[in-house]
Amino acid sequence: MAPNVVSSQVKLSYPLYAADFDPYNLDFLLVGGGGGSSSTGVPNKISLIDTTRREQLAEVVDVELAKDEDSVTSLAVSDSSDASLVAFAGINSSVTDQNAGKNEHLRSFRIGLPAKKRRADGTTVEKEKPPQDSQALGRTALFKSATGTKNETYQRVLRFSPAQKPGQPRLAVIASGLAPENEIVVFRATPTPTSKDEISRINLKNSEAGDLDLCVDDDEKAGHILAYCTDDEVFIQKIPTAAKKSSPISLYRTTESTTSLPPSKRPRFRAIRFITPHHLLLLQNRPGRTGADLLVLRISQDFSQSRITLRKRLDRSTKAAVGLDVCALSTSEQGDQQTVIAVAGQSGDASSIELLTIDYSGASGLLGTFRSYTLLRNVHSGPLTRLVFSNFQGPSLPVTKETPPQSIRLASVGVDMMVKVQYLPLRPFPTLYTKTPRYVLIPPGRSETMQTTFSVFFALVVVGIVAVLMQAFCEIRGAVPPLLGATDWLSPRMRDVIARPYIFADGIPTIKPSDIPIAAHSATERVKDAAEDVQSEIAQVVSDLEKTLEDFVKENSRLETPKAIIVRDGAEAGELSTEVLEHDADLIKDETLKKWEELSEHQKRNWKRKLIETGQWAEKQGESVLKGILFSELAGMVGNMVAN
């Protein structure tokens, strides 16, 4: 049975293209979009949504942007405090500025928060303060192509490194689209970044980064790992804090990209996310909008090799995948952790979201299998443009009775101007005997293969036990020869109560094994006698049925007053009937009757043929037997017609 997912929504006044949760306060969702620099009158805005009330979302802050500039194409929250949050956005400058070689695509804002809100860990802001006014912090251009004239460069992707603690520095990475030469730029996420904050720059030339992600490098303190994908290739780059950064390494390339297949016939990577530093989750669309797959790419410890270890076909209703996000839940003392996966799919005008989980074992360093949670259909009436999870930090441990229920939130936005938030309840695991549980969406269990194997084995064990018990019971009752010696299992008293001779349904007692040969011989003799009696009766009946005309004539001659014997043609071909009448008066009623002597020679030949065929007469008996017998003239006429 599919779980019941609580959902809430709100409709804004402009199409939406970007969204992100406050990483330190899951109650706040930042969304952005707009109509661009067109004259349609649709505004360009950034809105802060309060998701506290599950029955209804509320727009609490509305930041209106310049009408002559582009709409928001990417958006992410870098930091927040009790009173405000800092967000970065991708917004292209006006057409006039771009033609002049000035496209300040990277913007930063400080947005005031409503006071007294709960944090992601369940704690509350200490005291209430009036919200700060929202303000623009900075605008800059980090892409080299942004300084050129007459190009369509825009900031298509924006990601931050995982949030740790409020105020702790984070890295940001952006990727360009539609540029003469596309780029990826990694920089320090200061409120007003400049070229001095740049850490790494990757020139993609004619390729374009479909998606990218950052994670913390466990092998190096404060180090990070960048992963990004093009249409058919996955790359990785280690970003240390002090040492010189390394060049990107190609980890995986699709086999179709090495063939002569045209690009439209090849699968394409759509999104990428880290599950662990050595496990990458890839979203791949099949060619021709025929479906999508989730793949897990396992990376070696030295980051030199990789291979696909898991693959899952998404729901068949999904023609193409358009978005991916993951949420890592809390970790156990052994390092076990569950990751929740959300995939946005598109089929025509309908958008759907498929939810799954995957478990990581800290002891083995391996991932389990994909486990489906639910499929949310018809989430948006048009294209779904952004899918994002809230951050999960977990409650303070050990848990107590006052610990509130835990949940994560999944937000989606689309061009239909709708903001929707799904509330996914979490449960502690294990549920008993611990005050320091980790939280999961689906309780970890056996894999489907292990579960099936266990079920089959258990069923065989049950069948075996039932068979042994039935054999023992039948032995005790004497219905079958002893194999198990079940009668010896009982005490004499119990044997007298239970081990009574088995009585068949017809009341015949069980035959002892020593009596079987005698009974078999007696039964055989009785069957032989019965068979002989039946054969004798059958012969007698057949003999009675096979009377000929000669027999009728002999029997009739012994009578004091002979009767009239009439032969008629039957209803079926080759069949004759013999009729014996009591009185001659009956003959007057049938004028078609003729004696044998009155028949013509032709009629006699026909009747002889019929009598011979039916076995009523034979040539050796002579015609004297037929004298005095009446024949139906109509039958004779019919016989003549048949003969002719």
Query: For the chain, what are the domain ranges?
Result: 10-141, 453-498, 513-545, 549-643
* CB of 208 closer than 8 Å to CB of 230: yes
Token pair in block for residue 549? 């005309």
d(CA 355, CA 352): 10
Token pair in block for residue 566? 């009439």
Stretch (H or E) spanning 539: helix 516-545
Helix (H/G/I), strand (E/B), else coil: 475: helix
Helix (H/G/I), strand (E/B), else coil: 561: coil
Instruction: Give every residue of the chain whose pLDDT is below 50, as ranges.
Output: 120, 128, 448, 504-505, 507-508, 511, 541-542, 544-546, 571, 573, 585, 588, 635-644
- The CATH number of 10-141 is 2.130.10.10
User: How high is the pLDDT of residue 485?
Assistant: 76
* β-pair partners for 84: 112
Taking the chain, what is the end-to-end CA distance rounded to the nearest angstrom? 83
User: How high is the pLDDT of residue 542?
Assistant: 45
User: How high is the pLDDT of residue 474?
Assistant: 81
How do beta strands 564-569 and 630-632 pair? parallel
d(CA 393, CA 7): 22
Helix (H/G/I), strand (E/B), else coil: 392: coil
Helix (H/G/I), strand (E/B), else coil: 372: strand
pTM: 0.69
229 contacts: CB under 8 Å, gap ≥ 6: 209, 210, 211, 212, 235, 269, 271, 272, 282
d(CA 24, CA 195): 28
* Amino acid at site 460: L
